[in-house]
Amino acid sequence: MALDDQQHPVIAYYDATNAQLKIAGFTDQWFAYAMPKKDSTSDVGRYVKMTQVNGNPVIAFLAMEKGAAGKTRSRVVVGKANKPMPSASTDWAFEDAAVDENGPCQAAFCDANQACVKSTGSCTPTVTGCTPADCGTGNACITVTGKATCTAIVSKDAITAFPNVLGDYVSLAVNPKGGLGIAVYDRVHGNLIGVSNQSGKWVATILDGETGVRPNATDTGDDGIAASVTITANGDWHVVYVNGITERVQYLLWPGGAGAPLAPEIVDDGYDSGKPYPDGKHIVGDDATLQVDAGGVVTVAYQDSTTGKLRVATGAPASGGAHKWAAKTVDQPNRFGGFFPRFVSGGPQITNFYRQTDKATTDIIGDVAFVTP
């Protein structure tokens, strides 16, 4: 959401039922409209974020669609409005900031006579001649080395936590030195990606998770889940994200948004000052967000998903551009909280969503709480 100069809200959001990006706004009354899609199977608008440039809204989001050779095409798309309160889809201009043409297939993008084959990651024609004829649940009859073979597939009703594409967890920031900065997670390769147009064209850079040049690159981990970026006045990128293998919250400084980033720092490893909690290692880092003050102190807010607690970590500047980190839990008694934390106007106060259960009636309520760590 953003506000125009009259304090009217304009909101970008994802319509999950129709897999479509929508915009809503308010002047003297509310209005809403859907952005056009490439075709009926396209999935457009996940992870949408909004900022403003020269008073006009700018958004970034994930778009997925049928690609070539049975693959999935994923795009990180930037949309720029031509006025403060865009009232129709024609008030927007769109451009691709990053594109992957070779993502694994998704069943929704396969044709009626095709199946999404797990082993190849491609939509593949189905055939007859298998035994049993229907191949059973989770399989389809596919030609393999010239023979009809029952093969494992991704079904159309399969549940996925997040899409296996380039462009998960879009985070958008204005670069005070010019242009925009976007941090995203490339789930296919397990990489944290920074995308910038400061040079006048969009350039994607692997910030963590892979070194070297493909096809001889070295995989260094699964990095970039819950990516969030802030760009300070000097053009430095500050990025917080989760390492999906170690389940650690990590911070990365990319000086000037160019060249090589500094080594990742561990913000929270899921332990209590290096020791396991009574119930073991905690899963931390969901919904991470961060802010940087004038003195260079980095503050990160995120959820401890194991206990449903809001966690806040502070990184004080140390030598060599590194930080000294200290993390604590913000207790909210009888609430399972820490969801979607956001800093209020750059200050110490943080909002977060929580759930609370009335044990007598078993009623569950949800609300937003303002807390000060």
DSSP string, 335-363: -EEEEEEEESTTSS-EEEEEEEE-TTT--
Task: Give the pLDDT of residue 26.
Answer: 97
Average pLDDT over the chain, rounded to an integer: 96
Angle at 79 between CA 74 and CA 81, to 5 degrees: 170
Cα 66 to Cα 114: distance, rounded to the nearest angstrom: 13
Secondary-structure percent of the chain, ordered helix, strand, coil, rounded to 5: 5, 55, 40
In 3D, which of 243, 327, 228 has the Cα closest to residue 283? Answer: 243
Task: Give the pLDDT of residue 161.
Answer: 83
Q: Which tops the pLDDT comparison, 134 or 273?
A: 134
Above 90 in pLDDT, residue 230? yes
Give the tens place of pLDDT for each residue, 311-328.
999 999 998 889 999 999
Q: For 101, what's the count of Cα atoms within 13 Å in the CB-facing half-sphere? A: 2
Above 80 in pLDDT, residue 193? yes
pLDDT > 90: percent of the chain: 95
Above 90 in pLDDT, residue 244? yes
Instruction: Tell how strand 147-154 and strand 114-117 pair up.
Output: antiparallel
Above 80 in pLDDT, residue 253? yes
Banded model confidence at residue 157, pLDDT cuts 50, 70, 90: confident
Q: Find out whether 166 and 158 touch, Cβ atoms under 8 Å.
A: no
Cα 339 to Cα 188: distance, rounded to the nearest angstrom: 26
**Whole-model pTM?**
0.95
Give the tens place of pLDDT for each residue, 78-124.
999 999 999 999 999 999 999 999 999 999 999 999 999 999 999 99
Give the tens place of pLDDT for each residue, 273-292.
889 999 999 999 999 999 99
Q: Find out whether 235 and 179 touch, Cβ atoms under 8 Å.
A: no
Above 80 in pLDDT, residue 346? no
Interacting residues of 137 by C-beta distance below 8 A, sequence separation 6+: 155
Task: Give the pLDDT of residue 263.
Answer: 96
Q: Which tops the pLDDT comparison, 154 or 273?
A: 154
- For the four alpha carbons of 99, 103, 109 and 110, in that order, the dihedral sign comes to positive
Cα 116 to Cα 152: distance, rounded to the nearest angstrom: 9
**Polymer length of the chain:** 373
Banded model confidence at residue 7, pLDDT cuts 50, 70, 90: very high
DSSP 319: G
Task: Give the pLDDT of residue 158.
Answer: 85
Give the tens place of pLDDT for each residue, 48-61.
999 999 999 999 99
Banded model confidence at residue 347, pLDDT cuts 50, 70, 90: confident
Give per-residue burial for 101-138: e unless 16+ CB within 10 Å, then b: eebbbbebbbeeebbbbeeebbbbebeeebeeeebeee
What tokens does 195 get?
Answer: 């995308």
